[in-house]
């Protein structure tokens, strides 16, 4: 197979994924969001995304107060080419605890995989405190491409 064009194709795909993630905000901790009268985050594209106080209150009941500073929101629903079906990955101890509690699931750990019915249920309950982010295997660290 001729791979002369591979770097160009990889670059094109990575730029596409980068553009798809322009909406992804800088994450903020639960404690600081709860202190604001109108909690929000700012996307990479500069747009303000409001966070529901009802959702923050729900999350604050799940996570002990001493861990609010370590709880980063919105929770990223990581869409990746790793999965053959519609699925997302959620990472982080507190983020996974929130998802487990909201979905009333037995899944545990610092990294869980959710499938379409679970994704839909989670997004209905946490519309403003969850956010899709797209990943590609072309990125060796499997991180969001800035």
Whether the upstream peptide bond of residue 108 has omega within 30° of 0, thus cis, is no
pLDDT recorded at residue 115: 94
Higher pLDDT, 130 or 17: 130
Other beta carbons within 10 angstroms of residue 125's beta carbon come to: 14
pTM comes to 0.82
d(CA 88, CA 93): 16
Say whether pLDDT at 146 is over 50.
no
Q: pLDDT tens across 55-73, in order?
A: 999 999 999 999 999 999 9
Strands (E), 25-86: 28-29, 40-42, 48-50, 72-73, 75-79
d(CA 142, CA 135): 6
Q: pLDDT tens across 95-126, in order?
A: 999 999 999 998 888 999 999 999 999 999 99
pLDDT recorded at residue 126: 99
Higher pLDDT, 35 or 134: 35
């Amino acid at each position: 197979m001729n791979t002369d064009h591979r770097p160009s194709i990889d670059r094109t795909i990575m730029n596409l994924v980068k553009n798809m993630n322009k909406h992804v905000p800088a994450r903020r901790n639960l404690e600081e969001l709860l202190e604001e009268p109108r909690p929000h985050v700012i996307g990479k594209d500069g747009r303000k995304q409001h966070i529901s106080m009802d959702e923050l209150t729900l999350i604050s009941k799940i996570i002990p107060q001493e861990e609010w500073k370590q709880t980063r929101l919105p929770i990223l629903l990581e869409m990746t080419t790793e999965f053959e079906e519609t699925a997302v990955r959620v990472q982080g101890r507190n983020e996974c605890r929130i998802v487990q509690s909201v979905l009333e699931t037995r899944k545990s750990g610092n990294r869980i995989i959710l499938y379409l019915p679970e994704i839909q249920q989670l997004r209905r309950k946490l519309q403003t405190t969850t956010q899709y982010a797209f990943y590609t295997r072309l990125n060796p660290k499997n991180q969001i491409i800035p």
